[in-house]
Amino acid sequence: MSVSLETTYLGLKLSSPLIPSASPLSKSLDTVKALEEIGAGAIVLYSLFEEDIEKEALHLERSLTVGSESFAEALSYVPEIPGLRIGPEYYLDHLRRVKETVAIPVIASLNAQSPGQWIKFSKLLEQAGADALELNIYSIPCDPTMSSSDLEQKYLEIIRSCRQSIKIPIAVKLSPYFTNFLSFSTELAKIGINGLVLFNRFFQPDIDLENLNVEPRITLSTESELLLRITWIGILYDRIKLDFSATGGVLSASDALKAILSGATTVQLCSALLFHGIDYLKTIKNGIIEWMEKKGYYSVESIRGILSQKNCPDPSSYERAQYVYALSVYPSPSISGLEKK
């Protein structure tokens, strides 16, 4: 009996729970096609950022107007350009080309700031043929007058507006930094979204001691980051009727299986593919199949959530009791050193 990795995510039928996440990998049509051929269930396009659109429009405006005030003839020198593509047009065209290239679902990724832009771009992405939309809520609040409640309401209003504006499925990609993540997730489910992507990784700045600069640093994820993902997916599974996609820290077949066992519908891959190459997706896929055959499971649906908090033999493993136990049994280096003497 063969193992089936088929699943349904955001209402979309997938041949596999493995999804390349939003990254530069999706900028190449050849790469996207290759990912489909080696077993990707869907593809998340690199993110459309509002800042990039504004920067592009500003650069174009400067290019067309430079010198026009100094030289009268410049006003007639720059002709109108029919069909000029600015703003999100390049992204939308790429989305259309990807849709023409692959048969698997294509999920657009959007990261905006102003509420009006969220709605505008959501509609454009739907019209361009996106099968679903991943709303990437990526911002670090720095306003001391904004309470956590105010911030959550702002997010909810943005997501609600997008939900009301488009018909395609919506997943929301969040950071874990909420006072009560379960409560906020419950409110998101009430809005009518279809899934949560957990979690966003903030790229934090580093300090250059030699040049006394603050500089951005991008690091690949590590397996230790997976623990936070499976903790919250395990808690949320079957308590909130949403699909969950684990992203961050999925570097092997074992990591993918842990996420699915905790309740994830899909797992998103980025760092593993950037480090090992895209063929590594097939290695992960084969590793999942091998483990399932060994354990006597023949459907990925049959293993989803069997170790979530709801189904775990020891539900306290997800709560404080397990935290206290872990600390009590972990050996102290200093005590161990004394015992050896």
The predicted-structure confidence for 134-189, as pLDDT tens digits, reads as follows: 999 877 777 888 898 998 999 999 999 999 999 999 999 999 888 899 999 999 99
pLDDT for the residue 49: 81
Running DSSP on this structure, what letter comes out for residue 1? Answer: -
Per-residue tokens: 226: 């997976």
pLDDT for the residue 283: 98
Q: Cα angle vertex 145, ends 140, 148, to 5°?
A: 55
Say if residue 218's pLDDT is above 50. yes
- Residue in 194, 267, 263 with CA at minimum distance from that of residue 232: 263
- Residue in 43, 40, 38 with CA at minimum distance from that of residue 23: 43
Q: Distances in Å between the alpha carbon of 314 and those of 306, 308, 317, 319, 329?
A: 12, 10, 6, 10, 17
What average pLDDT does range 302-323 have in this prediction?
Answer: 82
* pLDDT over 90 percentage in the chain: 64
The mean-pLDDT minimum among 28-32, 142-146, 157-161, 237-241 falls in: 142-146
Provide the pLDDT confidence category of residue 37 given band limits of 50, 70 and 90. very high
Provide the pLDDT confidence category of residue 87 given band limits of 50, 70 and 90. low
Give the integer Cα–Cα distance in Å for 113 and 153.
15
* pLDDT over 70 percentage in the chain: 82
Provide the pLDDT confidence category of residue 12 given band limits of 50, 70 and 90. very high
Looking at 3.30.565.10, 3.40.50.2000, 3.20.20.70, 3.10.20.740, the CATH number of the domain 7-303 comes to 3.20.20.70
pLDDT for the residue 116: 80
- Residue in 132, 123, 182 with CA at minimum distance from that of residue 152: 182
Residues 6+ apart with CB under 8 A from 167: 126
pLDDT for the residue 323: 61
Say if residue 75's pLDDT is above 80. no
Provide the pLDDT confidence category of residue 284 given band limits of 50, 70 and 90. very high
Give the integer Cα–Cα distance in Å for 134 and 165.
14
What average pLDDT does range 312-316 have in this prediction?
Answer: 81
Bridge partners of 107, per DSSP, are: 44, 132
The mean-pLDDT minimum among 17-21, 44-48, 140-144, 318-322 falls in: 318-322
What average pLDDT does range 62-69 have in this prediction?
Answer: 44
* CB-CB contact of 259 with 246 (8 Å): yes
Give the integer Cα–Cα distance in Å for 6 and 289.
12
Give the integer Cα–Cα distance in Å for 133 and 126.
8
Provide the pLDDT confidence category of residue 319 given band limits of 50, 70 and 90. confident
pLDDT for the residue 65: 44
pLDDT digits (tens, 9 = 90+) for 92-108: 999 999 999 999 999 99
Provide the pLDDT confidence category of residue 52 given band limits of 50, 70 and 90. low
Q: Indicate the average pLDDT of the chain.
A: 86
Give the integer Cα–Cα distance in Å for 71 and 64.
13
**pTM score, two decimals?**
0.85
Q: Distances in Å between the alpha carbon of 219 and those of 105, 161, 176, 185, 270?
A: 28, 33, 18, 28, 11
Question: What residue segments make up the domains of the chain, in order of their start?
Answer: 7-303
Say if residue 14's pLDDT is above 60. yes
